[in-house]
Amino acid sequence: MTDADNQAPKILDIPIGLDATGLRREFDSLGDVGVPADRYWGAQTQRSLEHFSIGHDRMPKEVYRAYGYVKKAAAAVNTKAGRLPAWKGELIQRVCDEVISGALDGEFPLYVFQTGSGTHSNMNVNEVISNRCIQLVGGTLGSQEPVHPNDHVNMGQSSNDTFPAAMHIAAHTMATEKTIPALRRLRDAIEAKSRKWADVVKIGRTHLEDAVPLTVGQEWSGYAGALQDAIAEAEHATHGLLRLAMGGTAVGTGLNAPPGFGEEVAAEIASMTGTPYETAPNKFTAQGTLDRMVRAHAGLKTVAVTLFKIANDLRWLGSGPRTGLHELILPSNEPGSSIMPGKVNPTQAEAMLMVAIQVIASDVAVTMGGSEGNFELNAFRPILIANYLHSALIMADMCDHFREFMVEGAELNEAKLKENIDRSVMMVTALSPVIGYDQASVISHYAIDHNLTLKEAALANGVSEELYDRVVNPIALTRPGSADIPSGAKKSLHVGREA
């Protein structure tokens, strides 16, 4: 470090933006490249734009904002150790704050389908920070002086350890600040309905066929419990993202990074974010695999399976209004048909099913990309983080919409529930311990064959009205033990095939 490096230039108060037209000369190890003069990025970013303009999928902005923390923490550690002059390290950190805030989002245009290591995105960040720093000291953009993208912004780092670190930060932030809170809000709304409908009896269904009664509250408690279990799995898997690859540099050995660099950078990131990030104890694992990302997305897939079941049940329970189950009255959010007047569809449930399908499908891409951890580097990182963030985002948004526009406004069709209770045959199960399975079966078939209610069939086959009313009590049947039968009742009853 020379005296000139230590001499602090005047830092200018210049807002973000470049008032320039045409092209600016930038360079890298392969030579000169023309870059749009109104952009902060440099040669390597421009090369990636030209060589990898594939589809419409751009690297998510959350990755770059996470990268802001990585670069800021590295600059802070290098400054404290005297490897960067104080003014230079502080200037880099100042620009990193702009990256973190999203103020420079427009400077990160690269596509998802790029180098599998994420080097292009790492250099995109390095170049933008470098040129913004140069602008703030009145220098010449593209000169790489006095703040160099590799020597200063990338000091002690490699794409191979910084990109997976940024992946973990971006994914953990999305999951804990958006996805999991949205899931909890949906769970709470379902639990509220479960409490509200705790004593409303309905007929259960197994194999899509009539079964014995339960309460609507019990049914919805099953939804809430399943969602809570899924949330717990997602939380556990997300916790694994707290370990960062920082400090491993190229292949995990830490070449060109000083001793303790990974630990110090992770501690800085933890301090900046308020999240307990730490350095991965084995950098070869952290860089050669993306297993923790795979498990984190698998947690989202688990939630998607649960959400699919809940949404599918609700749309069937709301089917109708005249020829479906129609136990639920779902909110009418918008007209459902361009040709059938008055038709309203369970659109929120359909959207939830599509989101769940997308998340489950994305898990295949994540799994395959995660399996390609060849030797010391998994080179399929961009597709993993793009799919994870997409899954986490659409799941969060969908949960809030499903809660607000479907669950919270759902009501019961109590007349339909009562009709189903009155016509149910499977409540004969309650008679089985009293009169025997075979005799109970006779009553069941008799009711179906003669289109009778269960009570009518039971009375026609020798069951007394007093016994029937005492044993076949719908609300009592939802709480076994509340309608005990006196001993000996079974022996005193005779049921015949015909009345």
What's the CA gap between 136 and 41, in Å, rounded? 15
* DSSP states along 427-457: GGGGGHHHH-HHHHHHHHHHHHHTT--HHHH
> How many helices and strands (H and E) does the chain possess?
19, 10
Burial class of 268 by CB neighbour count within 10 A (0 to 12, 13 to 18, 19+): buried
DSSP string, 205-269: EETTEEEEEEEHHHHHHHHHHHHHHHHHHHHHHHHGGGEE-TT-TTTSS-TTS-TTHHHHHHHHH
Long-range CB pairs of 332-339, under 8 A, 24+ apart, other chains included: 333/405
**Identified catalytic residue from 56, 207, 338, 487:** 207
DSSP run (H or E) holding 347: helix 347-371
214 vs 327: CA distance, rounded Å: 14
For residue 429, the one-letter residue type is T
207 is catalytic: yes
In b/e form, how buried is each residue of 136-175, taking b as 16+ CB within 10 angstroms?
bbebebbebebbbbbebbbbbbbbbbbbbbbbbbbbbbbb
Q: What gap in Å lies between CA 56 and CA 257, rounded to an integer?
A: 36
b/e burial code for range 21-32 (CB count within 10 A of at least 16 → b):
eeebebebeeee
Both tokens of residue 458? 């039971």
User: Which of the following is catalytic: 337, 441, 464, 482?
Assistant: 337
Catalytically active residues are 207, 337
